[in-house]
Structure 1
Amino acid sequence: MAAALTLHPVRHALPADEDELGELDRSAWSTLHAVLPKPQPPYAPFFGERHRPQDFLVADAATESGGTRIAGYIRLVPPTPLACTAHVRQIQGLVVAGWARRAGVGRTLLRAAFAEARRQGANRMTLRVLGHNAPAQALYASEGFAVEGVLRGELFLEGRYVDDVLMGRPLTP
């Protein structure tokens, strides 16, 4: 476990968080979870038409100087615009800053996402994770997700085929 962090209550992202979230996203890029190439300057805006601030939950950690710093984020959205999936929310991104890893930030964000999804009327949560990302799969499994499907060799990344693992869980108490 990393050194203890003081986390503030998880909150929705604000437009003013764009630069810090963009930097966090770029600094956390890894072949362990990325399906897109490593971002290169000039960087695209973090927020956009399909990536709205209200779709992101943010975990802030206290700094030694008394301020706050974003320790991680989770993106929570409906999986499709169809009415027949209105009861489902999908995690489409979970990032924890390197300095905040192994301190419970990911778990805190997941649990906040469950509460937010329930608040939005959802009763099911899904996600997709790369087959070689064992740490993420273990975290998700420990929070009640089960593997519901595997698309074998679905992605070709860094010169090799990688499975796309579909996971889900109910949101009932």
Structure 2
Amino acid sequence: MIGQAPVAALRQMTGFDLAAVLDIERATFPADAWTEGMLRGELADQPRTRHYLVAEVDSRIVGYAGLAIAADQADVQTIAVYAEHRRSGIGSQLLTALLAEAARRGATKIFLEVRADNPPAQTMYANFGFEPYGVRRGYYDDGTDAITMMRELDG
């Protein structure tokens, strides 16, 4: 995103955003979408151990992302963007914001899981310096494996 104008306006997610976020969640992850209760639970820990953002284009929420932070470790909980807005830089914009927040809070490592059947997401994470370090067999509800990835953060 260096030298590029932001694609979307980012702001902190609130409970008022849940209907729009759930629509994106269900469209993006139909086999294992998070429930409203799960998302409310994540927001309940914001800002103590969570950081959730929404991405808006023309005042419409088109993506969201979440981060969990504990001590010097952070975990990307989720990143999702409507299909028609993918490959526009919104996912990268959201990930950049999560990395900045993790560093701001003192994290030295950031982890994530990505579906083994999602090469575009794997490529995006690799482009941000994430490296695969393992596989969680059958991690997702539909039996798909998760590739675990990690990146060191500049201290």
Q: CA RMSD in A?
A: 2.5
User: Which contiguous aligned blocks of 4+ residues in structure 1 show a shift greater than 6 angstroms?
Assistant: none
Give the structure 1 partner of residue 67 of structure 2: 76
Identify the structure with the greater helix proportion. 2
Give the structure 2 partner of residue 82 of structure 1: none
> Which has the larger Rg?
1
Q: How many residues align?
A: 146
Gaps of 5+ in 1: 63-67, 79-84
Distance 1:150 1:46 in 2: 24
Report if the CA contact (8 A) 1:129-1:165 is conserved: yes
Gaps of 5+ in 2: 1-5
Distance 1:124 1:56 in 2: 18
**CA separation of 1:109/1:48 partners in 2, compared to 1, >3 Å: closer, same or farther?**
same
Distance 1:111 1:138 in 2: 15
- Is 1:108 the counterpart of 2:85? The answer is no
- Is 1:170 the counterpart of 2:155? The answer is no
- After superposition, the C-alpha distances for 1:114-137 in whole angstroms (9 at most, x for unaligned) are 111112221211001122211111
Report if the CA contact (8 A) 2:115-2:145 is conserved: yes
TM-score (norm 2): 0.81
Q: Secondary structure at the match of 1:48?
A: helix
Specify which of 130, 147, 151 is matched with residue 132 of structure 2: 147
Identity percentage of aligned residues: 31
Which amino acid is 1:29 matched to?
A: F
TM-score (norm 1): 0.73
Give the structure 1 partner of residue 43 of structure 2: 52
Q: Secondary structure at the match of 2:21?
A: helix
Q: CA deviation at 1:18?
A: 1.4
Which amino acid is 1:120 matched to?
A: R
Distance 2:144 2:16 in 1: 36
